[in-house]
């Protein structure tokens, strides 16, 4: 397995540089994407590339469906992707909540009033 940094993943998704993933990443030697890289990727696609939410969701779904990529905490990333897709909150907040729930947290305390719309959050 080979770890993939955010910049490799973003350039692949933007079709700026596909050679690294297409030539070095295989099912036998998959690329590993951490949850940190996933959050950074969403941020870059939104802020730097100005993609619409639907385009970001499509990119996340492509990553999750790729046989050559292993996504850390894949189920929680999927949950956060669905929250983003349905317009119920941000990807990062949803992922924080999903990872907390996976770890056994009854709730996640926050000062973020928009995160409180998600069921796992509570205002501090």
106 occurs within a structural domain = no
Confidence band of 18 (pLDDT split at 50, 70, 90)? confident
* Total of domains in the chain: 1
Cα gap 54→112, rounded to integer Å: 24
Residue 99 half-sphere exposure, CB side, CA atoms within 13 Å? 14
58 occurs within a structural domain = yes
Residues 6 or more apart whose CB falls under 8 angstroms from that of 79 comprise 94, 95, 98
What residues make up the domain containing 62? Answer: 2-72
The reported pLDDT for the residue numbered 17 is: 82
66 occurs within a structural domain = yes
Report the percentage of the chain scoring pLDDT > 90: 93
82 occurs within a structural domain = no
The reported pLDDT for the residue numbered 29 is: 96
111 occurs within a structural domain = no
pTM of the model: 0.92
27 occurs within a structural domain = yes
Size of the chain, expressed as the number of residues it contains: 124
25 occurs within a structural domain = yes
Q: What is the pLDDT of residues 42-82, one digit of tens each?
A: 999 999 999 999 999 999 999 999 999 999 999 999 999 99
31 occurs within a structural domain = yes
């Amino acid at each position: 397995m080979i770890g993939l940094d955010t910049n490799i993943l973003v350039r692949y998704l933007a079709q700026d540089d596909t050679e690294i993933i297409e030539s070095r990443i295989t099912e036998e030697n998959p690329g590993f994407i951490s949850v940190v890289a996933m959050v950074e990727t969403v941020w870059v696609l939104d802020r730097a590339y100005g993609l619409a939410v639907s385009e970001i969701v499509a990119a996340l779904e492509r990553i999750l469906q790729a046989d050559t990529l292993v996504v850390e905490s894949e189920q929680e990333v999927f949950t956060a992707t669905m929250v983003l897709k349905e317009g119920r909150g941000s990807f990062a907040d949803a992922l924080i909540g999903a990872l907390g729930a996976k770890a056994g947290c009854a709730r996640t305390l926050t000062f973020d009033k928009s995160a409180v719309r998600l069921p796992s959050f509570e205002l501090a």
